[in-house]
């Protein structure tokens, strides 16, 4: 890592990096590399988790379509076990 990057970092932030590096037995370069990797990962997860309007609209349409499906004996029992009164409402699977 170039010294230029280290010189451009705020002194308070750089001191935090130095303390973290010392506490973990890392070099300053290793600490900055780990922090960049973890920070990038966290930011990438946030970006990947966000949906644009098209995604949200498609999900809402799919949920609305599922809610319109009749509660027939076959579909409504998917994932339920025989004798599970709480999920079947009558204590039997059909």
Spell out where the chain has E strands: none
The CA distance from 7 to 69, in Å, is 62
Q: CB–CB of 88/80 below 8 Å?
A: yes
When pLDDT is cut at 50, 70 and 90, the band that residue 75 belongs to is low
Q: What is the per-residue pLDDT across 21-36, written as a single tens digit (0 to 9) for each?
A: 999 999 998 998 999 9
Given this model, what pLDDT does residue 94 score? Answer: 46
What's 29's DSSP letter? Answer: H
Given this model, what pLDDT does residue 93 score? Answer: 47
Given this model, what pLDDT does residue 4 score? Answer: 54
Per domain, the residue ranges of the chain are 3-50, 52-88
H or E segment and range at residue 35: helix 28-49
Q: What is the per-residue pLDDT across 79-94, written as a single tens digit (0 to 9) for each?
A: 667 765 555 455 444 4
């Amino acid at each position: 890592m170039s010294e230029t990057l280290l010189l451009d970092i705020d002194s308070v932030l750089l001191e935090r990096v130095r303390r973290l590096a010392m506490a973990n037995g890392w070099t300053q370069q290793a600490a900055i590399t780990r922090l960049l990797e973890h920070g990038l990962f966290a930011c990438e997860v946030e970006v990947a988790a966000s949906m644009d309007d098209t995604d949200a609209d498609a999900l809402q349409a799919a949920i609305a379509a599922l809610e319109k499906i009749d509660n027939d004996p076959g579909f409504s029992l998917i994932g339920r076990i025989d004798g599970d009164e709480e999920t079947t409402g009558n204590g039997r699977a059909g």
